[in-house]
Amino acid sequence: MSAIVGVNGIGKSTLLRTLGKVQPRLSGIILLMNKELKDYSPIDLASSISVVLTEPLASKNLTVEELIALGRQPYTNWIGKLSDNDKKKILEAIAMVDLDGLKSKKCYELSDGQLQRVMIARALAQDTSIILLDEPTSHLDLHHKIQILKLLKHIAHKTQKTILFTSHEIEMAIQLCDKMLIMNNEYHEFGEPSELIQKKSFERLFPSDSVEFDAKIGSFKIKK
């Protein structure tokens, strides 16, 4: 599980969305399994990368189960009929994200935190080796932020999937992530959180006149 952190406007979401081919790349090449991303057919890409974006759902009138079932689209036939294997994967995703009790609720009945878990379950049902999430914890309270991040860590370690997400929850990411990418204007740093703390990378993240980073407790303090 890896997090991308950085100040607003540095390009975290742009990077993530480009990696997921949600938006076109500006320049350079992106390799996935030694193959250029642009050479992937839509269906092949859909079975390799799933995404959870910040944009709202076009229709909130789907039930939780229907929405998660849409994650199986890359594998279903021309009319979208679910096979027994598809149904099994959907139930697995529902169980892993603990949504059994909400299965037949409509999406407009859910809280933000519940909806985020449903979107994660949909990505899980898509059964890809990589899941990209754009700010999965925004709009959530502290408890639900921790719940979502712990869930992602649990998924990453249990299913051996690569989970990459953008976040402003730097302190939580330090505690929970295996790797972090720090985006700065001049250069970007990637490594384990403990390495990055030792290299004083977090100190350079924000202008030093507003906050300072306390390496001992791995957290930011407001400068008085």
Instruction: By CB under 8 A, name the binding residues for another protein.
Output: 20-22, 42-47, 49-51, 53, 55-59, 61-62, 65-67, 69-71, 73-74, 76, 78-80, 82, 87, 90, 126
Closest to 38 in 3D by CA, of 18, 56, 59? 18
Choose between 69 and 196: whose C-beta lies nearer to another protein: 69
Q: How far apart are CA 119 and CA 127, in angstroms?
A: 13
- DSSP character at residue 54: S
Residue 164 burial by Cβ neighbours in a 10 Å radius (0-12, 13-18, 19+): buried
Nearer to another protein by Cβ, of 53 and 176: the residue is 53
State the minimum distance, in angstroms, from the CB of residue 186 to another protein. 31
CB of 94 to another protein, least distance (A): 12
Measure the CA–CA gap between 20 and 23, rounded to whole angstroms.
8
| Minimum distance, C-beta of residue 29 to another protein, in the bound complex (Å) | 20
Residue 91 and residue 103 in contact, taking contact as beta carbons nearer than 8 Å: no
Cα-to-chain-centroid distance, residue 103: 22
Question: Is 50 or 137 the residue whose CB approaches another protein more closely?
Answer: 50
72 or 201, CB closer to another protein? 72
CB of 58 to another protein, least distance (A): 4
Integer angstrom CA distances of residue 160 from 119, 152, 156? 19, 11, 5
DSSP state for residue 108 in the 8-state scheme: G
Cα 96 versus chain centre, distance:
16
Give whichever of 59 and 194 is closer to another protein, judged by the CB atom.
Answer: 59
CB of 224 to another protein, least distance (A): 43
